Structure 1
Amino acid sequence: MEEENTIEQQLKTTQKKFKKIDSGIIVKLGEVYDTLLNTLESSAHSATRSNLILYGLPGSGRKTAVKYAINNIYERKTMRLIPIWIDAGVFQTENEFALELVRQIKELVEDIKLSKNDIFDEGFTFKNIEGYLNSQDGTWVLIVDRIENLVSQKRQSVLYALLDWLQNNQNSLTLIGITSDLKFTEKLEKRVKSRFSADHLHFMGCELQDCVQLIKKRFEKIGDTESCEKLCKQLLVCFDSQGIQEQLDLSFVQLMKPISYIINVISTMLNFIESKELENKIKNRELSKYIQELLRKALDLHQPFTGLMYIENLSIAEKQILICVARMIQHQKYPITFSSIQNEIIQHRKGLQFGSQIYFTQKVLQKATENLIQLKILRLQDSEEGEANGKLEETKNIILLVDYQQLRTYLCDNASKLPEALKDLAEV
């Protein structure tokens, strides 16, 4: 009885703590993090700052990577960084963004009285900010999440003022912009673009080893801090099994799922475990198989496969879009957007002999993609408002909601029903 209660308590602790462990562990594994860290360090030690733009899906670890880099530098005492975090997506006007910047500077600079006009005049031109920043010992880092919202503002005045000031002054501030808009720089006005100099880092997808390390690091951290070390070690072994790694690869890596999604699925899997059944599986040495079954159950909950029932009745244009998405996943042609799908179809069409082509206009393909979104076969990442209005944004990342492996199996099993050009596109 005592052993059973111990396992039950260990399980409860593991279920409770897993999701709360810092999700930023994964960012230390990639070259992107190293580049970010090196850029911050070199920027702080040079007269001219190296500004950064971080691209990637929400939940891909961009903000956490910045936090880790800042903490890493601070802990090594190579310099003092003073971060200011602003989410540009929560403000309706440039004036509100400017006021938030002033507010945060006032909190960090002691014994000063600061108003918006002390930094901006009516045209949003920076004025006395240099003195305030230099009054503090350290390098300021302004992190602007959803920076693309400053591009949508009239005349992009705040962004222009900030970039103009950064370009023309010896300053102690580094700008880090975070965005999911892959065409962010293309939307800049000419005067803004002329003052914009930044390194570009892309947080795309996780490799299989990254997913496994992310999961295992969490179990290790729970085992180090709680009285459930034995259970965590047993669960750790499970994620070395070939079956589970194949599941992780198909469900997370090939579909480019962000870190937050991976954590939510594994957390759900843990919540499915019952202590008595867990004890029996451990005694019978069936723990890995048990965990694999629960992982599949958790994936079904987070990624329903019901969309496949609609495929038989899809139009040729809709099938072409869906097959193209599957093809791009197979060959890891990321990111997948409506624009990249169009380019893939165009390149495919060029390789076909004349007369065997199936040609659809951009308008037809756009409508086909919107229909697939309405059927919940595809989804636009981080674009709920656009989806609600029935709008398709060409640069938004497209996520496949149906099971990728089942889709590939369907295409192979039904190859004879596909038009000739679609057979070639699907590689079946």
Structure 2
Amino acid sequence: QKYSKSAIIGIVGMLIFGTGTMISAKMMMETSACPEYRENEYKDIQKWEHGECPRYLLKKFEKPWYQTFVMFAAMVFCLLGHFFDLFYNDKKAKQLAEAQARGERLDEKIDKKVKHDWKAYTYIGIPALFDMAATTIMSYGLVFIDVSIMQMLRGAMVIFCSLFNVWCLKRKIRPYQWVAVFATTVALILVGVSCILSSNSSSAKPWDEQLLGCFLVVASTAIQASQIVVEDMLLSNIAAAPLQVVGMEGAWGLVTTLAIFWPIFSFAIPGPDHGHMEDISDDFYMVADSPSLVGMTVLYFFSIMLLNWAGMIVTQQTSSVVRTIFEAVRTAFIWIVNLMIFYVFAPHSVYGEQWTTFSWIQLAGFMLLTFSSQMYSGYVKYPKVFKYVFNDQKYEKLETKDEEENLV
């Protein structure tokens, strides 16, 4: 199939910015900087200026709530794209109306205008809470595991979407899809086992922390699947443009993060970060202390914003086949880039991933995961074994709904 230039730009953009999002998120967590000086904690050490703390006090920027904050802030900026689109369409509509009044015939069309509905702005707040929980838990998991492992474990979305669609939405799953779900489960087990076995390498976390990281990522995927079900129940009959949905979800998420959850985790819940689960003041101090963290924050911000823009183009101008294949390509690209970072761009540093003996197990899991996702979507068929009926409305929504998950 031949795609337009804008579709190709969207596909390339999703690959580049999708990879940039994951890579920058992990590199941010691996970067060390000076913590904020606290007299009660460092009373035997002279107060330091930015970047001048003793080397042994440098700590990694393992700040999941900070990344959640940046993600929602980037999503809010998608509203600018939405309003620009409205302005552009209104202007083009006036030009076409004036041309028609002069008796000119034009083949140019304008996009259908989506009415602003207060329900859309209100109801989006509920999925935003699910998104916030899923993103933060996934970020906690990313602290302990490699980003390629995390990306592959997100394949559990197929499992949870299938279960929730059967239990909550009373939809049916075809027999070949259940086989694909089983194959996906086996693939995820292989990926998880490779992660735990590789814990013996010098750069990896201990096996129990690796196991915790895998569990957190799978749990966050279950929450994302729940988000899809909630969106289906709340937003299916509400007219809203794609960038409007993304932007309002970001606005709700940003407000609840800043006003409720970040303060709670920073002041009310004890933890390892200056006595808190995550110290807000220390977050911004460390970012100001490190040009690398500033650069990665900017990269993360624009990657998320542009990823949503590219995703909108791909959704509008390509088929579900492209989006399904893209997920496998993006996962492979993330893994390859991480290997190149470790062996080429920043040799044997804290950044990137190294290839171990157990990476072959991860590769086998990835290949099985790719195959199972294609089988689940019906692109890999076994007509002598399974019956394929694609005009049944009981299945139709299930085929496409889990493809509309958040791209981040």
**Does TM, normalized by the shorter one, top 0.5?**
no
- Of Structure 1 and Structure 2, which has the larger fraction of its residues in helix? 2
- Of Structure 1 and Structure 2, which has the larger fraction of its residues in strand? 1
- With normalisation by structure 2, the TM-score equals 0.24
With a CA cutoff of 8 Å and minimum separation of 6, indicate the structure with the bigger relative contact order: 2
